[in-house]
Each structure stands twice: as C-alpha cells, then as structure tokens.
Copies of this chain bind each other. A is one copy, B any other.
C-alpha cells in the first residue's frame, strides 16, 4: 500500500522505516521537497522509500500518518492540502504538548477538546484515527520489546477506518491488545495520558514502558 508519513523527526523516521519493512511504499513528507533528514532516511530505507513536500506525500498516500510535532500538526496538514486528504485515513500519533513554560510540559488543548478532534474538524472529509501516541516510537513499532502484555488505544468516528488501522497495528506492527475507546473524543484521554507518561519516564528513567489494563 502507498502510505504518507508526515514528519521527519524520530517518530516519523521510525514509523516510515517500519512501514517500508512491512512492504509498503512510503513517501516521507516535510515542508520542503529536499529536506535533508528525509533525504538521509530515503538513502537507508530502500527502493520503496521516497520524499516530497507534505502535499506530495499526502497526494501519493492512501493512508496518511501524522507524525509531526503536535504544535505544528494543523499547519502541516493544511500544507498537505484538504484535497489530498479527502476520503483518506489520517493516523494521528501526535501529542498537543506545550513546552512554552519549560518542563514538565503542559497541553495546549485538553479535557473538552483534543488535537485529534481539531484535525478532524479542520479536515471533515478525512477519517482521523488517533492511536500510538501513548508510547515511545520504539514501542510503537516493536511492542514485544516490553516484558508482558500491554495495550494500545484507538479512537475515531469512522468504524471502517478504525478496523483498517487496527489491522495494520496488529498484523503489521505486532500489537496484541488494541482497546477501542469509541469515537474521536477518546483522543482527549489518549492525549492527556502524555503528562503522566512524562512523569513516569522520570520515575522509571526510561521511555520504554506502557500500560496494561487488568480486569476483574
């Protein structure tokens, strides 16, 4: 499948690499067509990897991963273009972290709204699925690196889109447990977890952890 990965940071890099390894054709999108980080990635990722502008990538992708910094996500997607996102799944792994007041970060949207919902509102003809944002990118694409069962969340308003993303997460990325939080308002909770995640990273001294829901 042709997949766009928006963002050239470590999250975009890690996800784009995994998708190529899974046999997908991936275009990494960034603000400029010749972004250096994307060019470096293309060189190592093989013949199914290419780069382009946000717009180039979104146009070519059947699915679009938003791996941009949360603060820039709406601008990046505007740059990708509503016409290139129409009818497509946007897998939103971003977080609305606000570092403007230093550490620990705050959130620039929360409780009654979320970045995932803001993206859906800005691109009503796309199908936003929020997922993976609650773990470090190494865990995103290699969940078995943790010792024991643990859970990933999804939320979104389009059931078909969620089913397709869940299939990619399980068969592709290797997730055994995917908890469906329902409609995209679930993104509020997925994003709020990040503040606890940052706290726990400090306690554990490592970003390699995740939560598992235990039932009675």
- The interface residues of chain B lying within 8 Å CB-to-CB of A208 are 215-216
Question: Measured between alpha carbons, how far is A186 from B195 in the docked complex, in Å?
Answer: 10
Residue A203 contacts which of B111, B148, B179, B204 (CB distance < 8 angstroms)? B179
Interface residue tally on A, bucketed by range:
35 or more
**Which of B106, B180, B189, B216 is within 8 Å of A195, CB to CB?**
B189
Name, among A139, A145, A150, A180, the residue most crowded by chain B CB atoms within 10 Å (CB to CB).
Answer: A150
Contact with B along A192-215 (1 / 0, CB 8 A): 110110011011101011111111
Tell me how far the C-beta of A112 lies from the nearest C-beta in chain B, rounded to whole angstroms: 7
B216→A147 contact, CB < 8 A: yes
Complex CA–CA separation, A191 to B206 (angstroms): 23
Task: Say yes or no: A111-B195 contact (C-beta < 8 A), given A209-B216, A211-B211.
Answer: yes
Number of copies: 2
Would you call A215 and B204 a contact (CB within 8 A)?
yes
| Alpha-carbon separation in the docked complex, A203 to B178 (Å) | 12
Bound state CA distance, A2 and B208, in angstroms? 42
Residues of B within 8 A of A204 (CB): 213, 215
- Nearest to A200 among chain B residues (CB) is B213
Max count, chain B CB within 10 A of own CB: residue among A111, A139, A145, A206: A111
**A146 at interface by CB-CB < 8 Å:** yes
Q: Determine the chain B residues whose CB is within 8 A of the CB of A107 once the complex forms.
A: 111
Interface presence of A149 (CB below 8 A): yes
Chain B residue nearest to A111 in the complex (CB):
B106
Q: Which residue of B lies closest to A188 (CB)?
A: B195
Contacts A111-B110, A111-B195, A192-B196 given; does A214 touch B210 at CB 8 Å = yes
Identify the A interface with B (CB < 8 A): 106-107, 110-112, 139, 145-150, 179-182, 186, 188-189, 192-193, 195-196, 199-200, 202-204, 206, 208-216
